Amino acid sequence: MTSVLVANRGEIARRVFATCRRRGIATVAVYSDADSASPHVTEADSAVRLPGVTPAETYLRGDLVIEAARRAGADAIHPGYGFLSENAEFAAAVQEAGLTWTGPDPKAIRLMGSKVESKHRMAQAGVPVLDRLDATTITENDLPILVKASAGGGGRGMRIVRALADVPDAIESASREAASAFGDPTVFCERYLEAGHHIEVQVMADAHGTVWALGERECSLQRRHQKVIEEAPAPWSSDSAATCASDCSARRATQRRRSTTAAPGPSSSSPTSGAGSGSWR
């Protein structure tokens, strides 16, 4: 690997470029017309313009990115995150073009891109997972449940359901949102953990059999099911878990106080709605 093109922009591209410089590897940036003056463009050894303004016209065009790598003489492509980083077809196309793909194998991307399939695979490996619920047989004892999109993330295509009568509508609306956001309407149901704290483990491996695992704690204090506090490395002791629970309770109490004392914003219809947006600034 002598020259790496980063199929991304902004902070992640700059971080990859910095690592490449330390290792003596040449760097190539790609940019849209709107990003022509961005720092990642000037920090790379060379840059290739992707004609267009929107991501759909530029950073999401795998064919243009691969052609840019060829034009710049890059022999590897790093996807960064977002854009094409979880696109198995793009990863396979990079490999078919004779370039090094510095990311997960396309088979792994396809597998982990489906929560339904990845949970099934983990269960087969003996990893405890929440049982998938059949939407047609959910009872009061199963509530509350979480309707979750199989693809994507970021809280899109997710609904918390606390009443049986709301299950059909929640599944339908979550499916519509998932189709719009990820191009896949598949959703599934599982029990919702009201006060869940979990440890997420990032697993990295190279082509030589070396594997690293880094755990991080994701606080249950959320907005739209999207974690807003993450800590790495994750604390594993019971004392640390208790501290996390205490921290979250304190933050929730602070938010409640803001919700009841803050004045409503210009477009708010109530003090609560006005404080809700302000507390997250």
| CATH number, residue 128 | 3.30.1490.20
Task: Determine the average pLDDT of the residues in 12-36.
Answer: 97
Question: Do 187 and 227 lie in a common domain?
Answer: no
Question: Do 131 and 55 lie in a common domain?
Answer: no
| DSSP H or E stretch at residue 65 | helix 62-72
Structural domain boundaries enclosing 226: 198-274
Question: Do 214 and 245 lie in a common domain?
Answer: yes
Q: Cα–Cα distance between 244 and 226 in angstroms, integer?
A: 17
Give me the phi and psi of 233, to 5 degrees please: -70, 155
Q: Looking at residue 270, what is its pLDDT?
A: 33
Q: Cα–Cα distance between 247 and 197 in angstroms, integer?
A: 12
Question: Do 145 and 92 lie in a common domain?
Answer: no
* pLDDT band for position 200 (cuts 50, 70, 90): confident
> Do 224 and 155 contact (CB within 8 A), yes or no?
yes
Q: State pTM to two decimals.
A: 0.68
* pLDDT band for position 265 (cuts 50, 70, 90): very low
Q: Is the pLDDT of residue 186 over 70?
A: yes
Domain ends where: 53, 76, 106? Answer: 106
Q: Is the pLDDT of residue 206 over 80?
A: yes
Domain ends where: 78, 106, 134? Answer: 106
Q: Looking at residue 199, what is its pLDDT?
A: 72
Question: Do 64 and 142 lie in a common domain?
Answer: no
Q: Tell me: the pLDDT tens digits for 212-249?
A: 887 766 554 445 555 556 666 666 555 555 555 566 55
Question: Do 100 and 149 lie in a common domain?
Answer: no
Q: Looking at residue 152, what is its pLDDT?
A: 79
DSSP string, 159-228: EEE-SGGGHHHHHHHHHHHHHHHHS---EEEEE--TT--EEEEEEEE-TTS-EEEEEEEE-S-EETTEE-
- Number of domains observed in the structure of the chain: 3
Q: Tell me: the pLDDT tens digits for 137-174?
A: 999 999 999 999 998 777 889 999 999 999 999 999 99
Question: Do 269 and 178 lie in a common domain?
Answer: no
Assess if residue 231 is contained within a domain.
Answer: yes
Domain ends where: 191, 214, 243? Answer: 191
Question: Do 131 and 54 lie in a common domain?
Answer: no
> Do 53 and 33 contact (CB within 8 A), yes or no?
yes
